[in-house]
Amino acid sequence: MSRDTCFPLIPVLGSTVMAPEKHKTERPGTWIIKDVPRDLMHRMKIAAVLEKKTLKQLLFDLSEAHLDELEKKGILPKNLR
C-alpha cells in the first residue's frame, strides 16, 4: 500500500500536509516531551489547580483553543479533524 493511499494530501500554505488516516475506532496517541523548562512546568501545574483541571486536560484545552484560533484566522485548514 502506498503512502498516498493511506494519507490523502492536504494543501497548507503552499505546501502539503498528510491528513490523518480515519479509523472506525480512533485510538489515542502518546507524546513524550523532553526538556520542558521547570518554571513552565511549575506554572502550568498551578494553572491547572486554579482551574480545577488535570494538567493533561489543561494542555488539551489550551491546544484546542489555539488550533480553533488558527482555523478562524484561516491559517490552519478546518478539514484536518
Judge whether residue 47 has pLDDT over 60.
yes
Of the two residues 37 and 13, the one the predictor is more confident about is 37
Q: What percent of the chain has pLDDT over 90?
A: 60
30 exposure class (CB count in 10 Å sphere: 0-12, 13-18, 19+): exposed
C-alpha cell of 3?
503512502
**What's residue 2's pLDDT?**
46
Please report, for the chain, the start and end positions of each structural domain, with discontinuous segments joined by +: 35-81
Residue whose entry in the numeric block shows the C-alpha cell 472506525: 24
Judge whether residue 81 has pLDDT over 90.
no
Rounded to the nearest integer, the mean pLDDT of the chain is 83
Residue whose entry in the numeric block shows the C-alpha cell 491528513: 19
